[in-house]
Amino acid sequence: MTDTPAADTEQTMHIGDLAEATGLSQRTIRHYDEVGLLPATTRSDGGFRIYTESDLQRMLVIRSMKPLGFTLEEMGELLDTVDILTTDPANNAARELLAHYTQRANEKRDKLALNLKRADAFIQDLSNK
């Protein structure tokens, strides 16, 4: 990580640092930038992407949604909803949408858990042969 100019005390990172912190590839991060899910906060004089701690947190949300099968559009909608609630916690429409995504995430997680149990049972059956 590198320091930002003295006027801003927030730590920044380049794409390699973000990739290391999230366990995602630089290619994946660039893709999320290109589709608008995680545009770099700024760019260096040399054109390198520069990310902040809030960008890291946003990427962690994206990373968490991916294995649950959310589409890029859904990821963007949820991230926009979270952004709205950050500035307007009383926004009822955003709260309802967040509740909807929470319910869907729970349903998707339950389905993954069921599939994992089935895989475990299958492996156990194979071990008993």
pLDDT digits (tens, 9 = 90+) for 22-34: 999 999 999 999 9
pLDDT digits (tens, 9 = 90+) for 78-87: 999 999 999 9
Averaged confidence pLDDT in the chain: 90
Radius of gyration of the chain (CA): 19
CA–CA separation, 59 and 45 (whole Å): 24
Band of pLDDT at residue 4, cut at 50, 70 and 90: very low
List the Cα angle 20/7/42 in 5-degree steps: 45
The count of residues in the chain is 129
CB-CB neighbours of 81 under 10 Å = 19
pTM above 0.85, yes or no: no
More confident residue, 10 or 4: 10
Give the tokens for residue 31: 């893709």
Give the tokens for residue 16: 């390699």
- Can you name the residues that pair with 51 across neighbouring β-strands? 13
Q: What is the pLDDT of residue 8?
A: 52
CA–CA separation, 21 and 39 (whole Å): 17
Architecture of domain 1-66: Orthogonal Bundle (1.10)
